[in-house]
Structure 1
Amino acid sequence: MKASPAERMKALRVSRETLEKLEHFAVLFQKWAKSINLVAPSTLEDLWQRHIVDSLQIFHLSPSPKAWVDLGSGGGFPGVITAICLSEYSDGWVDLVESNNKKAAFLRIALNETGARGSVHPIRIEQAPSVIPRCDAVSARALSDLTQLLDYCTPWMLEETSNTVAFFHKGRDYQQEVDKAVSRFQFDLVKHASVVEPDSVVLEIANLSRRTK
């Protein structure tokens, strides 16, 4: 994404301060990616569009400060990006769940050096609800199919009083995953067209419940 700072801020819909933090994160990411497989190597040259802008979609869809859980945070997408956006606020937090210790170390440094509002939990996703008992929103990107993601989310979303909403990036075959998931779950679904990839979407899911036979 070759553009002036002003053009980039406008395109990304972020402040100058947030842009500076995103740029610092990008430098850190490129440095660490030389020794750790943070994303597919073929996508590194298009880091901004394929990963940063793609991740920014999540925050733009739900921009008010929230308690987030980001599952399988990997290279920080979308969790670190959301946490950087939240640094403009005095509220909101992202709990990043990443069981790989090397990736978790990178995530900690990225959060610390950008002043992002988040923390890292180097645990398995199945352990996360006991460590993070509640949240307002869940995110995940390139992690698993929709049915598995909803299974992961049930501890936060199935409570009668829960208003937790989930946001999942999905590729062009997302409808097959939705069709499979509805055989086990009921939920409200909003499909947001991706601003990065044609035919891709961000699925917004609320009011999750299990189907009873």
Structure 2
Amino acid sequence: MSHIDSADRSRALSLTPVSRETEQRLEIIVALLAKWQRTINLVAPATLPVVWTRHIADSLQLMPLAGEATRWVDLGSGGGFPGLVVAAVLAERRDADVTLVESDSRKAAFLREAARLADLPVTVLPSRIEQVAAVVAPGVEVVSARALAPLPRLLELALPFLAQGATGLFLKGQDVDNELTQASKSWRIDAEIRASLTDGGGHVLIVRKAVPLGPEAVGGKSSGGKGFSQGGHHG
């Protein structure tokens, strides 16, 4: 098993400070992740030594962007990023409710065990995203995803939540501008791009609204520029 770098933990928490109680919950998650990683590929093996920066802090950077939101759904939660990390922060809030959607039964089992050990306000749904949206959507304030799908498909999956007022917080790579261009051919998007705090080529895409365009727009009669209203690009 790869060694987790203690210096990386310090770097991560200096980038994204949390309370001592939250830190303790995160330590439980990391310890269980390292244990389960021996038999299930929860994260890329090369990233385990720097799990605190690469996965924990990467997830924590979403919290200031969510304001006071406490009802959250994380799509394709995988090894728990950002969903488990979000729940570790929100655990101090009485009204917190974080739903993790993960169709892989082994990963879902890990998420449930981590939530139990760290006493997190989490519900794990081991189902396909398309099957749970109607059940989860009411009242959700934030919908998140990390490395789940290209933006056009991601917007389709997130639409039930975005349509009823949720904000989308999506961790994306260096091609986020190209993804937005592609998505704007079939969506009218109100979005803002923020540079990642932890990944030089990464970004956080904040989607405040996304509305599907009509069939005529999807057919190519609408220019991509008309579909994307950019709130700002912070580098």
> Counterparts of 1:105-124 in structure 2 under 5 Å?
105-124=109-128
Secondary structure of 1:73's counterpart equals coil
Match of 1:201 in 2: 203
Identify the residue that residue 166 of structure 1 maps to in structure 2. 168
1:20-59 matched pairs, under 5 angstroms: 20-59=24-63
Determine if contact 2:98/2:123 at 8 Å carries over to the other structure: yes
Do the aligned residues in 2 keep the contact of 1:65 with 1:86 (CA within 8 Å)? no
Identity across the alignment (%): 40
Instruction: Give the C-alpha shift of residue 8 in structure 1.
Output: 6.6
Deviations 1:20-73 (A, max 9, x none): 111111101000011001011121111111111101111232142421110000
Tell me the SS of whatever aligns to 2:72.
Answer: strand
Offset of 1:88 from its aligned partner?
1.1
Alignment correspondent of 1:95: 99
Match in the other structure for 1:183: 185
- C-alpha distance in 1, partners of 2:11/2:106? 35
Q: Assess if the C-alpha contact under 8 Å between 2:130 and 2:157 holds in 1.
A: yes
Structure 1 segments, 4+ long, off by >2 Å, are 1-12
2:146 corresponds in structure 1 to 141
Shift in CA distance, 8/168, structure 1 to aligned 2, threshold 3 Å:
closer
SS at match of 1:126: helix
Runs (5+) with no aligned partner, structure 1: none
1:155 to 153, 160, 163: 160
User: Which of 12, 16, 35 is the matching residue for 2:16?
Assistant: 12
* RMSD after superposition: 1.8
TM-score, normalized by length of structure 2?
0.84
Cα deviation, residue 165, structure 1: 0.6
- Residue 90 of structure 1 deviates from its aligned partner by 0.8
- Give 1:193's aligned amino acid: A
Unaligned runs of 5+ in 2: 217-235
2:9 and 2:110 mapped to 1: Cα distance? 26
Q: How far apart are the structure 2 equivalents of 1:39 and 1:68?
A: 22
Give the distance between the partners of 1:147 and 1:122, measured in 2 at CA. 23
Q: TM-score, normalised by structure 1?
A: 0.92
**Separation in 2 of the partners of 1:174 and 1:141?**
12
Q: Deviations over 1:108-153 (max 9, x none)?
A: 0101111111110000011011321321110000111011100001
CA distance in 2, matches of 1:49, 1:109: 22
